[in-house]
Structure 1
Amino acid sequence: MDLSQSLNQPPGADDSFEKSGMPAAAPPEYQHNPAGYLPSFPSQPVPLGPYAQDPYPGETVVTVQPAAYVTATPLASPVPEYLAYSIFIMLCCCFPLGIAALIFSSSTREANYSGQRELAEKNSKTARTLNHIGLGIGLSLIVLIIIIQIGIWSIR
């Protein structure tokens, strides 16, 4: 066997079958590798780079795009948060509505920092509405308590 035939044979493919008395099988057809590497076999992947070959028949090529990192900038004119108003309502007037307003106020702050104007405006409006309702309930309760106390004092 000369050198050109030995390069087209897979490693270990010699005349050992003929020596053992078994019939010799025809060697499979192998691809010619233009890069001058060792012989390539059909089960091995195609080398990449300047010597890349076409994909095997029936093989699909998948192109992967690099990840795109999106960064948001804070709003130039941020929407009001009503955070202090929410804390006041929570502590002094109406605790449940103050908690809800506080959550919407912090959501407004996050939307302002992430550059989402529509979400910030919606959360800000909801926080302001909850704060106004909580203030109205708190003032109503204070006025009602004062009226009841005056009524009780006038009876005595």
Structure 2
Amino acid sequence: MDPSNQPQGAWNSSEKSGMLQPTPPPPAYQDIPAGYPPSFPSQPVPQGPYAQGPYPGQSMVSVQPAVLVTAAPLANPEPDYLCYSIFTMLCCCLPLGFAALVFSCSTRDANYSGQQALAKKNSKMARTLNHVGVAIGLVLTVSVIVYQVVVIKNNNY
């Protein structure tokens, strides 16, 4: 039987016996000249009977990892009034200060994600809650002082 007359997909015993022979050693490493990028992959293809690598004549496909692209923060972010909210919460009116703090954090998140309309809305709400909280705190403080003065004055007489 002549091997040249066999169809292309047929089995050839000479090919099978050639596969069991040891493979030649890999070529020696070469220095990369200046200005040329290193080849990909930078590691040599492993050799041996159980090595996984490209077959001779097969091209290698390199896959780059995906890059997560996030929205850049705004150039002119809305003010978040975070310090004002903390002051309102601790010194003036706890419930309104806490609500203002939540809106301040939401403003900061919206600024970071690039949602300018949402940042503007949350910033305005945080400012309004802070103003109302400080006003309530001042009114309560002044009314307590006035009440104490009136009570002390009436007790003296």
> Smaller-chain TM-score range?
0.5 to 0.7
Using the TM superposition, give the Cα deviation of residue 69 of structure 1 relative to its aligned residue in structure 2, in angstroms.
Answer: 5.1
Q: Deviations over 1:124-145 (max 9, x none)?
A: 0000000001001000000110
The separation in 1 between residues aligned to 2:70 and 2:101, in whole angstroms, is: 27
Which residue in 2 is equivalent to 1:154? 153
CA apart distance, 1:90: 0.3
Distance 2:112 2:141 in 1: 37
CA deviation map 1:113-156 (0-9, x unaligned): 11111010000000000000100100000011011001101102
Distance 2:80 2:109 in 1: 10
In structure 2, the residue matched to 1:113 is: 112
CA distance, structure 2, for counterparts of residue 68 and residue 84 of structure 1: 35
Paired residues in the alignment total 101
AA at the equivalent of 1:146: I
For residues 68 and 155 of structure 1, what CA distance do their matches in structure 2 show? 75
Q: Give secondary structure in 2 for the equivalent of 1:92.
A: helix
User: In structure 2, what is the equivalent of residue 87 of structure 1?
Assistant: 86
* Runs of 4+ deviating beyond 3 Å: 67-70
Counterparts of 1:97 and 1:75 in 2: how far apart (Å)?
28
Could you tell me how far 1:70 is from its partner in structure 2? Answer: 4.5
Q: What does residue 133 of structure 1 align with? A: 132
What is the rounded CA distance, in whole Å, between the counterparts of 1:103 and 1:129 in structure 2?
Answer: 13
Q: CA RMSD in A?
A: 2.8
Identity %: 61
Structure 2 residue ranges without an equivalent (≥5): 1-5, 11-65
Q: d(CA) in 2 for partners of 1:113 and 1:71?
A: 9
Partner of 1:99: 98
* TM-score, structure 2 normalization: 0.56
Structure-1-length-normalised TM-score: 0.56
1:78 and 2:77 correspond: yes
Structure 1 segments unaligned to the other structure (5+ residues): 8-66
Deviations along 1:6-51, one digit per CA (max 9) or x if unpaired, are x9xxxxxxxxxxxxxxxxxxxxxxxxxxxxxxxxxxxxxxxxxxxx
